[in-house]
Amino acid sequence: MQIRKVLVANRGEIARRVFRTCREHGIATVAVYSDADRDALHVAEADEAVHIGGAAAAQSYLRIDAVIDAAKRTGADAIHPGYGFLSERAPFAEACEAAGITFIGPPGSAMVDMGDKERARAKMIEAGVPVVPGRDGITTPQDAAAAAEEIGFPVMIKASAGGGGKGMRIVHEPERVVAAFEGAQREAKASFGDDRIFLERAVLGARHVEIQVLADAHGNVVHLCERDCSVQRRHQKVIEEAPCPSLQMTPEVRAAMGEVAVKAARAVGYRSAGTVEFLFEETPQGPNFFFLEMNTRLQVEHPVTELITGRDLVWDQIRVAAGEPLGFEQADVEVKGHALECRVYAEDPVSFLPRPGRLSRVEWPEGGGVRIDGAVASGTEVSSYYDPMIAKVVTYGADRDEAIAKMQRVLADTVLLGIPTNIPLHLRVLAEPTFREGTAVTTRYLEHHPEVLTPLELPEAKVAAIAAAAAAAAHCGQPSSSAQAGGDARPGAAWRHSVRWRH
């Protein structure tokens, strides 16, 4: 089967990313867009674009009927879901199949098995995959209290249908279990329409390490090394890198984790690109790793894997969806160098609150070993309706030190005027000694290093100089004033949201 036209049921940088691979292989592209995205970059770059509804995701990007109709109207023979939105919704994959449209992703059954955390745990236990000790099927506060005592503190209370940190609570004392259980249950019901809860041991001093897998319809499954995603805020990833810099990530441990990830994929009849996530606990006796969950889609952080393996994961997804075999074996996977990804969000770098608005000026640096997967340009309006991630900055080096040095240069030379971003946070993390050493970073990194959340204080004279430079740039025809963009009109506001300044 040959795929000739792909509709991307998504927006922003991931839609542009998929379009790029399609163009390279002569595949026609279709974009879908909401009211808020009429002028978005992904709309302009596609061969065709179809309006599918209102600004709110529920009125557009989450409408299965509208997406399928757009594919039929444009003659798209395949749909790539990207990540988020409908990407892990089994009914969407089934609707594509019913409409005779190829879904570029896994079978709906795999999504069902891995989308429910309790069901996934049961599947993994059955397959011999190590999971965090815990108890499923907790229905009452009394059950939760008893389970917590049995497991031992601290415990993690989790929503079975959860994700993104919602419906999740860490409890250190018995007297807090009931309130935490009830709070997690309410949040799970409001967020997912499902209030089922389970408990597991809280593995707090661990890394978040994940294994990229690829599987085809012919029984071939391989893994493509690991990624370390330990630097997180609110249980959401901020910086990712590959390979993992832990001293305990030896070739033998890497191979063992890869074999477990392959076993997990086989257990659910997986097909396409997917990611098996683990908690990686470093101890004096050696590492322990536990299955956390499987993401049945392309991950946000897939570029770091592409850079160290030389593969195009989107093209691999398309080939597998077309019925082709992977065409390579585990022994053919070769890892070279080190890659780092920083997610750039339109948000306050201290409170992490979203800060949508118009970007009056955007400049991304270029150079060898630098990749920008972006969703914005000068004049782009960052909407309050969607996730505030506006770009992924990715660097590659012969080793980790080179990748970090490139990332520091790239971020320092990035120009984003008009709204605040988390680039200052990235720069502080990249300069922090523990992160640079790379051997003692866990998912509690930001909690243990509050100094990276503190903005640097500039001398008053330097503030005045930078403000004057920004004002001069505006007079020279550069639309750098955030006041013009409806933003902060205070003196110096134009430079406040840029990392770089120039006369």
| The residue to which tokens 């597991």 are assigned | 200
Please identify which of the residues 169, 297, 319, 371 carries the catalytic annotation: 297
pLDDT at 457: 55
Which of the 8 DSSP states describes residue 207? E
**Rounded CA gap, 216 and 265, in Å?**
11
**Rounded CA gap, 235 and 244, in Å?**
19
pLDDT at 456: 60
Domains held by the chain: number? 4
Does the active-site annotation cover 297?
yes
- What DSSP assignment string belongs to 298-365? --TTHHHHHHHH---HHHHHHHHHTT------GGG----SEEEEEEEESB-TTT--B--EE-SEEE--
Contacts for 57 with CB less than 8 Å, ≥ 6 apart: 34, 85, 385, 386
CA distances from 180 to 136, 174, 232, 386 (A): 16, 10, 22, 28
73-126 pLDDT, tens digit per residue, is 999 999 999 999 999 999 999 999 999 999 999 999 999 999 888 899 999 999
Q: Which of 168, 201, 234 is the last residue of a domain?
A: 201
Residue 125 lies in a domain: no
pLDDT at 217: 97
The whole-model pTM stands at: 0.88
Are 29 and 146 in the same domain?
A: no
| The residue to which tokens 């397959």 are assigned | 127
pLDDT at 164: 66
Q: Which residues of the chain have pLDDT under 50?
A: 458-465, 467, 470-503
Residue 111 lies in a domain: no
The domain containing residue 475 runs over which residues? 460-496
Are 381 and 320 in the same domain?
A: yes
Q: Are 260 and 287 in contact (CB under 8 A)?
A: no
Residue 358 lies in a domain: yes
Residue 314 lies in a domain: yes
Are 214 and 294 in the same domain?
A: yes
Are 290 and 414 in the same domain?
A: yes
**Rounded CA gap, 479 and 418, in Å?**
9
Are 286 and 385 in the same domain?
A: yes
Residue 317 lies in a domain: yes
49-78 pLDDT, tens digit per residue, is 999 999 999 999 999 999 999 999 999 999
| The residue to which tokens 């990530």 are assigned | 249
- What DSSP assignment string belongs to 419-447? S--SHHHHHHHHHSHHHHH-SS--TTHHH
Residue 342 lies in a domain: yes
pLDDT at 320: 98
What does the buried/exposed string (b/e) look like for 481-496 if buried means 16 or more CB atoms within 10 Å of the residue's CB?
Answer: bbeebebbeeebbbbb
For residue 303, the domain's CATH number is 3.30.470.20
